[in-house]
Structure 1
Amino acid sequence: MKELFDVTRLGNLELKNRCLRAATWEGIAEEKGQINDQTLALYADLARGGAAALITGYAFVLEEEQPSPKMFGAYNDTFIDAYKSLTDIVHENDSKIVLQLVYGGSFTWFNTESRVIWGPSAVTNKISGVTPHEMTPLDIQTLINAFGDAARRAMESGFDGVEMHAGHGYLLNQFLSPFFNRREDVFGGSSEKRARIIFDIFENIRKKTAPDFPILIKLNCSDFMGTKGFTFEECLALCKKLDTLGIAGIEISGGPVFRAPKTEKEPTLEVTLPAQDSYFSEYARVIAEAVSAPVILVGGNRSVETMENLLNETEISCFSFSRPLLCEPDLINKWKADKSVKPRCTSCGQCFTLDGNNCIQNREKAA
């Protein structure tokens, strides 16, 4: 019988349990993406809290493209030594750490007037209002190389793996979507051509890192836009292809999950998610049955009983958590001591602000 606290693996990476911290933009890095004492303190708390691996907040791979303020950077070699203190402190506290890599694209509100923002096509993002510049073939190759170089830096910094962020409306997700991707070259058209950039990034990362360095991906199971967006059938086909390439783990989410800002001047985002536990589990179940790579389920994981039922009724391997660990960094340890513990997180969504992510319960305590 499978349990949440079984030892398991992602590629060559051994995990002490099946619980991962999902990537979460914290908004606590320096202006250009460097980490600081606040970053180290947060990740030390998370590592001590019991999660087997921490997936970092997303890191931008090109210096001129930063989708959120005070996010991690990975765009030049100065980050290699700087990140060693972060990976060391996580390892010293008995956890693993994976660097999530991203290009934000048009799903951004940060400095949109002062930088060139790329997209697969010049399609206005209805949520942000940003119209990107259509990428040239040279732009695409530049981005592919940037992901590979960032992954090499992560490996040299002591990270245990990297995760490509291809969900939640960011650029790689837009390449997958026929709504955003209207190209007529080798990176557009059929679903396989729309996914080509992801395959090319994977191969570039593999070329620039050790043969067994774990590469993960975060994907929407669907964009929930009907045939206008990336569909579940396309997601399943993409996962099968990535499985043959040797992906170390597939984290299944869904989107888009944000409503438009209330006003253009004060864009307050509101999270819109289902209320039930583990709400993408049916999609993850089908994918896990079709691939040999471990499937990680994110979204609404609140009950140990539900998760252990999924472990024993499906081929899902692991679970990742964002908001519950914003509220309680030590929640995994609490579950290890008592599986009946109910998280303090109420899924209210008020942790997300344009100034960063932190639980409103904790903000109220600190006030």
Structure 2
Amino acid sequence: MAALKMMATPIKFGPVEIKNRFIVSPMVMNCCNEDGTATEKYIAYHEEKAKGGWGLIVTEDYAVDPSGRTYQYLPGLWADYQIASHKELTERVHAAGAKIYAQIFHGGRQTEEWIIGQQVWAPSAIPCPVKKALPHEMTTQEVEEMVEKFGDAALRAKKAGFDGVQIHGGHGYLVCEFASAYSNKRIDKYGGNLVNRMRFPVEIIQNIRKKCGEDFGIDYKISGEECAPGGTNIEDTKAMAIMLEEAGIHSLNVSVGVYETWYMQVPPSVMGHGWIADYAAEIKKVVEIPVTTVGRVNDPLVAEGIIRSGKADACYMGRASLADPHMPEKALNGRFEDIIQCMACLQGCTSKIDSGCHGPCTLNPRTVREDEVKITPAQVKKNIFVAGGGPSGAEAAIVLAKRGHKVTVFEKEDRLGGMYGTAAVPPWKGEISSFVVWQKTQLEKLGVEVRYQTELTKAIVEEEKPDTVVVATGSHPFVPPFPGKDQEFVVSAVDLLRGKIQADGNIAVIGGGLVGGETANFLATHGNQVTIIEMLAQIVGEEPDNMKRFLLQSFEDHHVDIHAGTAVQTINEDRTITVKAGEEEKVLGPFDKIVTAVGMRANLELKGTLEDSVKEVVYVGDALKPGNALNAIEEGYMAALDI
């Protein structure tokens, strides 16, 4: 497509020619065995992206030594026994048309002793401010031995069929720790001035080149700025880039941050698209090798703009590949409307990883389940009614239609999306709408009938006699029975966000969970004075940390008055609220409006009413149990596979 002439153009990283400029970022998915070998799940996950048209896939964090692992289930290339399983990975990725690099790394001080079974290693005995463990300061001999381990791991990568390696020299891991005066306080040949601090990465590059030859690609990931006290800035990184190019790397990927600034490495929806591209642009001024960017590039047209502007030569699009592993194929064929666009919600890809699970995607239930979840034609084609056009119901309808069933969706509102559509209203959440539009588009393309402003009833079921009914009626706001809740100045957050009412002036929001917090932010950023009253000890507890920091900062910037650990007793006629915090009772207000956002309850109107009128009734999403979008979409998808 002409609009993507740069993204469609091949590019060479030294000896490696890549068919287009769509690159998958390394992302931890917790899919390998504990001994570092590849599983079928791990292989199928990458193979799906190759089938989807990505030019280059850079795999996650291959540890060069067991002491370098930062998660239990990372891949490894520290021993020869690991080669065979990863060779199957590269063969299947190559057969599907993509090139593949192994990112090789050592976690340094940014890991934990319970993971590696020993004291963490670092250039200096200074703990990571996040992980806290006191490191073993590597001896000069140990540093030299680690150089060899990087080279040996790269050689194993070559034997396993990888087209190249990416040395992870950013994000505060071991190579980055040596290069930065922030973490390297040594006084031997690997510390002190920049030349000495860069000796470790330079020797790694030279060692890889010696062992792997000239026909093997070497990429390097670097933090353009560490954004930490005393850390490297862009001018330091320019000097480093010059040295790395002279040492023999073929390409350079520019990211930012260390663990202390983790939100920069995995930016939430608050942060702008392609926000790291300016750092890459600065590096491009001083080197001749290809320079790539990363960070909230979730749209191929945004990537095209970055490349055309000269800021980077290609774009890494990691989480975009989770939401839609077939993005390149769709984009290059002009099917932009079929792309599932990452919205940086962080509910699956990071929140689940940090709890030791695989890294699912809220919008794509097949992600990291490619080996087990497939849409296959139904053996018996059915006439199926879906009650509710929210994310769960619409997802179920899409999968059911793809399997060959005749599907009709009943939606009582005049649009799809349900509560999820409402969630797009607060600041930074607008990209939620793109998924609702995607679902609507797919339903139209699949020929699914959607009856808007029509609520499915038992009478309709008895008259039209479907084979199956999927109940996806969602949830509704719940307000506890405290006195005064029915007064005219007390309104629901849902009605407010849907534009049914307006609230101006001094506003109280009862409930500081996800809905209450986002509603309060919406009101505060629209010029209102806002007070949050939350019974629990903390607010927005279910918000992913990388997003929460921005929400709390917004509350501070807009002088939101927060009362956590505070229970509402009564809403009084004079528009005040009597509350109790511990043993203390006090009165807040008066307020112009009081907004309730305490919780949700399942819509149960159809619960148990259809079973005698239809052969099969399936409940999904909030109609089953109120939860988040990740659960709702997955339930709709999986239920549709079982019908």
**Scaled by the length of structure 1, what TM-score is found?**
0.92
**Structure 1 residues 64 and 289, CA, compared in 2 at 3 Å: closer, same or farther?**
closer
Provide the rounded CA distance (Å) in 1 between the counterparts of 2:91 and 2:115: 35
**Structure 1 residues 339 and 193, CA, compared in 2 at 3 Å: closer, same or farther?**
farther
Which residue does the alignment assign to 1:297? 293
After TM superposition, give the deviation of residue 288 of structure 1 in Å: 1.3
Which residue does the alignment assign to 2:224? 221
After TM superposition, give the deviation of residue 313 of structure 1 in Å: 2.1
After TM superposition, give the deviation of residue 109 of structure 1 in Å: 3.7
Which residue does the alignment assign to 1:248? 250
Query: Within the alignment, does 1:45 sit opposite 2:42 as a pair?
Result: no
**Structure 1 residues 320 and 339, CA, compared in 2 at 3 Å: closer, same or farther?**
farther
Query: Within the alignment, does 1:209 sit opposite 2:212 as a pair?
Result: yes
Provide the rounded CA distance (Å) in 2 between the counterparts of 1:113 and 1:236: 34
Judge which range, 171-180 or 155-164, deviates more: 171-180
Query: Within the alignment, does 1:337 sit opposite 2:333 as a pair?
Result: yes
SS at match of 1:111: helix
1:96-123 C-alpha deviation (Å, 9 max, x unpaired): 1100101001112462583121101000
Higher RCO structure, 1 or 2 (CA under 8 Å, sep 6+): 1
1:175-205 C-alpha deviation (Å, 9 max, x unpaired): 1221211111111111221111000000011
After TM superposition, give the deviation of residue 344 of structure 1 in Å: 2.4
Contact 1:27 1:357 in 2 (8 A): yes
SS at match of 1:285: helix
Contact 1:258 1:271 in 2 (8 A): no
1:215-258 C-alpha deviation (Å, 9 max, x unpaired): 111000000125x1122111111111122223111011001366
Structure 1: gaps of 5 or more residues: 262-269
Query: Within the alignment, does 1:366 sit opposite 2:634 as a pair?
Result: yes
Which residue does the alignment assign to 1:312? 308
Q: Which amino acid aligns with 1:176?
A: A
Map 1:123-134 → 2, pairs under 5 A:
123-134=126-137
After TM superposition, give the deviation of residue 37 of structure 1 in Å: 1.0
Provide the rounded CA distance (Å) in 2 between the counterparts of 1:23 and 1:256: 16
SS at match of 1:334: helix
**Structure 1 residues 300 and 272, CA, compared in 2 at 3 Å: closer, same or farther?**
closer
SS at match of 1:290: coil
Greater C-alpha radius of gyration: 2
Q: Which amino acid aligns with 1:347?
A: A
Provide the rounded CA distance (Å) in 1 between the counterparts of 2:166 and 2:48: 21
Judge which range, 43-52 or 350-359, deviates more: 350-359
**Structure 1 residues 315 and 188, CA, compared in 2 at 3 Å: closer, same or farther?**
same
Map 1:17-28 → 2, pairs under 5 A:
17-28=20-31
Q: Which amino acid aligns with 1:119?
A: A
Query: Within the alignment, does 1:349 sit opposite 2:356 as a pair?
Result: no
After TM superposition, give the deviation of residue 259 of structure 1 in Å: 6.0
**Structure 1 residues 12 and 166, CA, compared in 2 at 3 Å: closer, same or farther?**
same
Provide the rounded CA distance (Å) in 1 between the counterparts of 2:200 and 2:133: 22
Provide the rounded CA distance (Å) in 1 between the counterparts of 2:362 and 2:301: 26
Contact 1:5 1:17 in 2 (8 A): yes
Judge which range, 89-98 or 287-296, deviates more: 287-296
Provide the rounded CA distance (Å) in 1 between the counterparts of 2:307 and 2:262: 36
Which residue does the alignment assign to 1:107? 110
**Structure 1 residues 109 and 343, CA, compared in 2 at 3 Å: closer, same or farther?**
farther
SS at match of 1:349: coil
Q: Which amino acid aligns with 2:251?
A: G
**Scaled by the length of structure 2, what TM-score is found?**
0.53
Which residue does the alignment assign to 2:153? 150
Structure 2: gaps of 5 or more residues: 366-629, 636-643
Q: Which amino acid aligns with 1:256?
A: V
1:114-150 C-alpha deviation (Å, 9 max, x unpaired): 3121101000111111111100011101110000000
Provide the rounded CA distance (Å) in 2 between the counterparts of 1:38 and 1:105: 27
SS at match of 1:58: strand
Provide the rounded CA distance (Å) in 1 between the counterparts of 2:117 and 2:328: 42
SS at match of 1:319: strand
Which residue does the alignment assign to 1:179? 182
Query: Within the alignment, does 1:62 sit opposite 2:58 as a pair?
Result: no
Query: Within the alignment, does 1:281 sit opposite 2:283 as a pair?
Result: no
After TM superposition, give the deviation of residue 359 of structure 1 in Å: 1.4
Judge which range, 149-158 or 273-282, deviates more: 273-282
SS at match of 1:182: coil
Provide the rounded CA distance (Å) in 2 between the counterparts of 1:306 and 1:260: 23
Counting matched residue pairs gives 359
SS at match of 1:241: helix
Map 1:162-201 → 2, pairs under 5 A:
162-201=165-204
Q: Which amino acid aligns with 2:154?
A: A
Q: Which amino acid aligns with 1:280?
A: I
Provide the rounded CA distance (Å) in 2 between the counterparts of 1:257 and 1:106: 10
Q: Which amino acid aligns with 1:346?
A: M
Which residue does the alignment assign to 2:239? 237
1:25-84 C-alpha deviation (Å, 9 max, x unpaired): 110100111111111211110111111011001111113432211100100111222221
**Structure 1 residues 260 and 162, CA, compared in 2 at 3 Å: closer, same or farther?**
closer
Contact 2:69 2:115 in 1 (8 A): no
Contact 1:119 1:174 in 2 (8 A): yes
**Structure 1 residues 260 and 347, CA, compared in 2 at 3 Å: closer, same or farther?**
closer
After TM superposition, give the deviation of residue 324 of structure 1 in Å: 1.2
**Structure 1 residues 112 and 44, CA, compared in 2 at 3 Å: closer, same or farther?**
closer
